[in-house]
Chains A and B, each alone.
Chain A
Amino acid sequence: MRPTGRRWIAIAAVLVAVVEMAMTGCDLASTNPPDLIWGIHGRKPGWVHKPRVAAFDAEDHLYLADLTDRIQVFDRDGKFLRHWNTPEFNVDGPSGLTVDRYGRLLVADTHFYRVLVYDQAGKILFQLGDGVQGTAPGQFNYPTDVVIDKAGNFYVSEYGENDRIQVFSPDGKWLRQWGGHGYDPGEFLRPRAMAIDDQERIYVADSANNRIQVFDTQGKLLRLWGERGEAPGQMSYPFDLAIGPDQCLYVVEYGNSRVQKFTLDGKSLGTWGEPGRGPGQLFNPWALAVDSQGAVSVIDSNNHRVQRFRM
């Protein structure tokens, strides 16, 4: 009677171990899986072909540009609503999108050396820059992003021959500029994106320098952080950033294929994502957007999809 019992205990232990192994073996998903994954690869309306930039408006509609000449609008869950085409097209689409607080869509029409200001229906209101590639004040090389301050002034980042930020008045008059191509503090190597906080501090993703630089509206460098690497606080090609409703800075890293969350002071609060093609994995993502509920939609460019998650 008793030996039988012990054997059963041993077998039960083996069973438990087997079951345990089976369970851990099946559960390969990331510890923090995304809430939602959407996007079909293609050029048809509602499909995306290497999406590279996106922004939410006040109603949580997502404006998204990809390697075609389209700007497409989706609802928060990826349901296709409408689209329109940019006036001209040359291989890539625009690489910068911002919805300002007037509901206008500010588009950095990168390869046509200008910034287009659209209303929500896709009508062009006006443009910044003369559309001629140049280095003079008011001209653009490759504009990458636009933000506006409380006074309505436009801040446009660009790369190419001039890695700089130019400032325009609300009616498009050139005001000032700062930056320049280089490695020193205050200089840029491909400023890819910008974000502006309540205190009117401008956060710049200085992508090829692998750092975030923070300026006031006059261009005075307030602080900078980051260096190339994979550890928390380090970065590899920060391509886009956004400030969430929780007053934290979300940075998407092209090189590390992840999203890193920072306090506005630059303290790393954690990362999400790893290189790959599965759920919770990213493949050289270009952009992210944070919605009103604080969820992050990351534009998983080379996987041709969008993943939504919370950090």
Chain B
Amino acid sequence: MGTVWNYLVDRVTVGRPLWLILLPLVLPPLVYFSMRSLSGLGAFRKNVAILLRATVVTLIVCALAEVQAVRKNDKLTTIFAVDVSESIPTDMRRNTLRFVTEEGKKRRTGDLAGVVVFGRNPSVEAPPSPSDPNLALGIESTIITDYTDLAAAIKLSLATFPEDTARRIVLISDGNENRGNVLEQASAAARLGVQIDVLPIEYVYDKEVLVEKISIPPDVKKGETVNINVVIRAAAPTSGTLQLFQKDSDNRRIPAPGYESPVPIELDRGVKVVTLKQRITETNFYTYTAEFVPDKNSGDQRSKNNVAEGFTYARGTGQVLLIEGTRGEHAELVKALREKKIEVKVLVAPDVDGSGGVGGDPLPDDLGQLQPYDTVILGNVAKESFTDQQQKLLEANVHDMGAGLIMLGGPKSFGAGGWQNTPVEKALPVDMQIKAMRVQGKSALVMLMHASEIPEGNFWMKVIAMEALKSLSSYDYAGVNHWEGKEAWLFSLRPIGANKGNMLKLIDRMQPGDMPAFDPLFNLSIAGFKNVKDAMTKHIIVISDGDPAPPSRGVLNTLIQNKITVTTVIVAAHGNDPGALQSMRDIATKTKGRFYNVTNPKALPRIYQKEARIISRPLIFEQSPPWLPIVKYTSEPIVGFSSGVPAITGYVQASVKENELVEVPIVSPLPAMGQVNPILAHWNYGLGRSVAFTSDAGRRWTTAWPDWQSYAAFWSQIVRWSMRPVDNRNLALTVRRDDGKLKIVVDALDKDNQFLNFLQMQASVLSPDLQAQRVSLVQTAPGRYEGTVENAEASGNYFVNLGYSGPDNTKGIVTSGISVPYSDEYREMKSNPTTLETIASLTNGKVLSWKKKPDGEVDLKRTVDESDSFRRDAYTLPPRGFSPLWPNMLWLASVLFLGDVAIRRVAPDVDRMKKSIAARWKRLRGEEVVEQTEYMEKLKGRKAEVVEQNDRTKFAARFDAPNLPEPNAVDEPLLGQSAMQTGPRPARTDPTVQSKPKDAPPPGDSYTSRLLKAKQKVWEERDKDKPKS
């Protein structure tokens, strides 16, 4: 019994055990009532019937309780987690892949093998499958190799396992992790019963040289000679050369003056500081790189850790960067500022085409390049001229670096330039969208997306659709259609309004397919435009590789007739196919759209922004004759201009940010719609200041201004107000990086070298990916303040800006920074097998090892032979799979129920059966069988019994009330009886007649014919009823 119970517990489980409570509630009453109601059946049949009923009820209750069978599966899945980070020596990386390939072949039938590769990120190289993993050709996953995250690799492996097999991870790594916490994940694996075998990759870089860092004073003066300290660490005495480089204005690396040829140096074991001297000749941002090149026989193995970078800047008088959309457009302004002794550098922004930009100057794309400028002016330049990164840079430059930002108006500025929802909008005192404005020129845009086979085509589709949508105003209409097995709207053409969020979500889930022809999608778009009555512009942007069959003449004509313009964007997956180019260009030319041949997918989002901007420009307000803006009050930047400014003829509408810091000294009285129309607005944003001037600087809407005598004074005053304040330079800011954290230390002294105490200090650290982290510094000693910033792991430049305010209302900004030349992977000098061994012991896994040949090379065959990644041992937990039993139970219950009915209706005569069997047995043996008279006699007896009973009934019936129904007239009619009952009713009203023979069926009137008659009668009655109804 015990073993049966154990077996059941092992093989059966209950999903909703609460239902089982029904069993004790239902079974006893069932048995009790059945005992009584079935008492006439005889003991054996009664017991069987009760047993069957009880079983049926039990089965139903079990079905309700979701009883499930537990399947045991002896399959095993092994996932090889392979470390491919930079710290793994190249030859071992090759060996690892060969090991996995060979070890995978030892898979037993039914077992699954999978591969997860990892560095900073893990990726499933081969999902668990019943085929041999083949890594002989290298790995296909894209792995960022500059960090190691063992924990993420285990987490992904755990998530990749199929459910119904035993699980094992074989972790091949050097055990050096610089992200995540592997022991935590290993415990999670142990809890899940997943074994982790480890195969440590061991190495020692005993002759490695590291250029640890370059240290340069953060702030230098023009004409000064600075000491650049290069810190080099050598694991063994060696020799080599050291060279110093600097970056020129185009961000290229050139040898620093005086270091045109490398300097030979000798290194002892340990740390050595080499001091190199440089003279600072101009006010600029300087980036220096020091590179150590080992001699041939030095034994230094990795070159990536032989380079380090550092930067500094030399400040001069204020300098301004003006970025304009068209060359020379702001000549008057530049002249005026230079008159007022403000240095101005002018750059022309590129216009966007298929290659990602054309003409113009290269714009700053790292924060260092922006540092020489104390204010950036954007003069009538559209958003798409800047990459997302550059837009973030412009914002961070104000917020975290304390510089100024001025946006001048024009047809490509503010909302008209597509700047809504950008970081730049965030930095400005105005918002680009106008609330509660009557908009006249609505536009409708349909984007027609075709999957292109460019790398990451789907990703780019989403990016561009989202960018275009973001660039449209909320009054416009947008729709996206694509091929999803057949042509379909992703979302049909509708007002953007509040739908934007949902639209973006839909786009994020979009999976455009490969459509064979353009016609159906154009037809769909045309139908969509028909439902939009108030759109001034109707525009379609098609992105495709040009491969679908070109639109028919009929469809093109419909587009032209309905004034629907089509811009075509070809992404050439197959190179420049002249036919495809021609057909895409044709569509654009015939419908008066634009044509782009995209060679660089990164240009795509900006093309879409430009297209969306061109069709959506309801925000420009122009009117003649000129009218005078109103100077409401003179705020700090326009002190002295209370007498007013000259007239204007237009500006870009924007709305003032709802923030008490925003000041709006100049407004326009037109259009008189009850809202504030800012012409000049300014505020403090983060550490810096920004200004919005919504009319332009003299060419289109302010033609009278350059001749205004105060023109130069007005603009120089505004620009100077926005500029970054000059440092007080009595604070020494030091930044150190240690263990992935930045430590900021400030020593504050006044001019008389007295400690400055009780300063409020806020530091803002910009990481290489422009994420800002803020930290308050705490005073730790007289004149000393400290703070720590976590997560400084990425390599690249970190800028630290310190804003401070003292008790005597002194304020200032100090800037410094630190460069992390290479990832921590290159700092590892030896492997860390201990961590791996801990993982193995936590999860009951095995520690494998590389077998070596006598010459020290890895003996792959022996290594594979002595490991068994598909073994079954005491810790290989076979998984339990569950399969529901309730359908079977319900079937069984219904079958048993039939049994219950049968047992009550069919009474087997056990005696007779016994005798019959005995007789057969005798006959089989050839013995004579005694004639079975007994059965006949029994039958006769039974007949007599029935006749007697009938007579008794008749007799009794004579004394019954005539209308009383017969007790058995309702229930369970037998065929014969029912035939009689369908006969004339008088049998009941006059029981005496019933027994007479004439009431019996007339001779020759067979049972079938009687049935027929009855049926006919029913039909006749029905026919009679019909006309009535």
Contact = CB atoms under 8 A, between A and B. Distances in A.
Given A91-B453, A92-B574, A190-B517, A19 B485 contact: no
Contacts of A183: 552
A157 interface: no
Given A190-B516, A237-B516, A16 B485 contact: no
Nearest to A40: B129
Nearest to A92: B453
B134 A1 contact: no
Interface in B892-942: 893-894, 897-898, 900-901, 904
Nearest to A276: B485
A15 to B, nearest CB: 5
A91 B574 contact: yes
Given A1-B37, A1-B40, A15-B890, A255 B552 contact: no
A80 to B, nearest CB: 9
Contacts of A111: 574
Contacts of B894: 12, 15-16, 19
Contacts of A271: none
A92 to B, nearest CB: 7
Given A1-B40, A15-B897, A111-B574, A161 B887 contact: no
A160 interface: yes
Given A15-B890, A284-B513, A302-B513, 15 more contacts: A4-B37, A8-B897, A11-B897, A15-B893, A15-B897, A92-B453, A141-B579, A159-B549, A183-B552, A189-B517, A190-B549, A207-B516, A208-B549, A255-B486, A257-B485
Given A19-B887, A19-B894, A91-B574, A189 B549 contact: yes
A22 interface: yes
Given A190-B517, A302-B513, A19 B549 contact: no
A85 interface: no
B29 interface: no
B772 interface: no
A2 B900 contact: no
Interface of A: 1-2, 4-5, 8, 11-12, 15-16, 18-19, 22-23, 26, 40, 42-46, 67, 90-92, 111, 133, 141, 159-161, 183, 189-190, 207-208, 236-237, 239, 254-257, 275, 283-284, 302
Nearest to B57: A11
A153 B126 CA distance: 45
Contact of A43 (B37, B140, B573, B971): B140
Contacts of B971: 2
Contacts of A1: 37-38, 40
A141 B580 CA distance: 11
Nearest to B140: A43
A41 to B, nearest CB: 9
B578 A208 contact: no
B25 to A, nearest CB: 17
Contacts of A159: 549
Contacts of A239: 516
Nearest to A182: B552
Contacts of A189: 517, 549
B891 interface: yes
A5 B573 CA distance: 75
B2 interface: no
B455 to A, nearest CB: 10
B575 interface: yes
Contact of B901 (A2, A8, A207): A8
A275 B484 CA distance: 10
Contacts of A283: 485
Interface in B578-632: 578-579
B1024 to A, nearest CB: 33
7 contacts: A19-B891, A22-B886, A40-B129, A133-B577, A133-B578, A189-B517, A284-B513
A257 B485 CA distance: 7
Nearest to B905: A5
A112 B362 CA distance: 38
Nearest to A18: B890
Nearest to A46: B131
A69 to B, nearest CB: 14
Interface string B544-578: 00000100100000000000000000000111011
B972 A2 contact: yes
Contacts of B164: none
Contacts of B972: 2
Contact of A26 (B140, B513, B573, B887): B887
A23 B887 CA distance: 8
Contacts of B577: 133, 160
A213 to B, nearest CB: 16
A295 B60 CA distance: 45
B202 interface: no
Interface string B749-763: 000000000000000
A268 B755 CA distance: 96
A237 B890 CA distance: 48
A12 B897 contact: yes
- Lowest 4 CB-CB distances: which A-B pairs, in order? A208-B549, A208-B517, A161-B579, A15-B894
Contacts of A91: 453, 573-574
Interface string B131-142: 100100000100
Contacts of A302: 513
A216 to B, nearest CB: 26
Contacts of A15: 60, 890, 893-894, 897
A284 B897 contact: no
B508 interface: no
Contacts of B129: 40
Contacts of A141: 579
B514 interface: yes
Interface string B775-814: 0000000000000000000000000000000000000000
A237 B520 CA distance: 12
Nearest to A45: B134
A45 B60 CA distance: 52
Interface string B113-146: 0000000000000100101001000001000000
